[in-house]
Amino acid sequence: MLHDFLPQHHAFRAHVRSFVEHGLRPLSEKWEKQRQFPISIFRECARQKLISLDRERNGIIAEELPKCESLGFALSVFVQANLVAPMLEELGSAAQKKKFLSPLLRGEKLGAVAVSEPSAGSDFAALQTKAQETRAGWRLNGTKTYITNAAIADFLILAARTDPVQGLQGMSLFLIPVSSNSVSIKRLSMLGLDTSAAGEIILTNCEIPANSMLGERGQAFAYVQSGLNRERLFGGLACVSWAQYSLDKTLRYLQGRSAFGTTLNRFQAIRHQVADMHTRLQAARQLNYHAFRGWLQGENVTKEICMIKLFSYQTAQSVVESCVQLHGGVGYMDQHWCSRFYRDARALTIAAGTPEIMKEMIAVFLRI
Task: For residues 281-300, give the mean pLDDT.
Answer: 95
> pLDDT of 18-59, one tens digit each?
999 999 999 999 999 999 999 999 999 999 999 999 999 999
Asked whether the predicted pLDDT for residue 324 surpasses 70, the reply is yes
Phi then psi dihedrals of residue 140, to 5 deg = -110, 140
> pLDDT of 184-220, one tens digit each?
999 999 999 999 999 999 999 999 999 999 999 999 9
Asked whether the predicted pLDDT for residue 85 surpasses 80, the reply is yes
Query: Domains (ranges, CATH) in the chain?
Result: 7-105 (1.10.540.10), 111-218 (2.40.110.10), 222-366 (1.20.140.10)
Beta strand spans in 234-313 (E): 258-259, 262-263
Structure-derived torsion over alpha carbons of residues 222, 225, 227, 231, reported in degrees to the nearest 10: -170
> pLDDT of 128-149, one tens digit each?
999 999 999 999 999 999 999 9
What was the pLDDT predicted at 73? 96
Phi then psi dihedrals of residue 234, to 5 deg = -65, -35
If pLDDT is split at 50, 70 and 90, which confidence band does 6 have?
low
If pLDDT is split at 50, 70 and 90, which confidence band does 165 have?
confident
Average pLDDT, the chain: 94
Task: For residues 164-170, give the mean pLDDT.
Answer: 77
Q: 63, 69, 200, 231: which one is catalytic?
A: 231
Distance CA(80)–CA(68), nearest Å, equals 17
Asked whether the predicted pLDDT for residue 1 surpasses 70, the reply is no
- Is there a catalytic annotation at residue 321? no
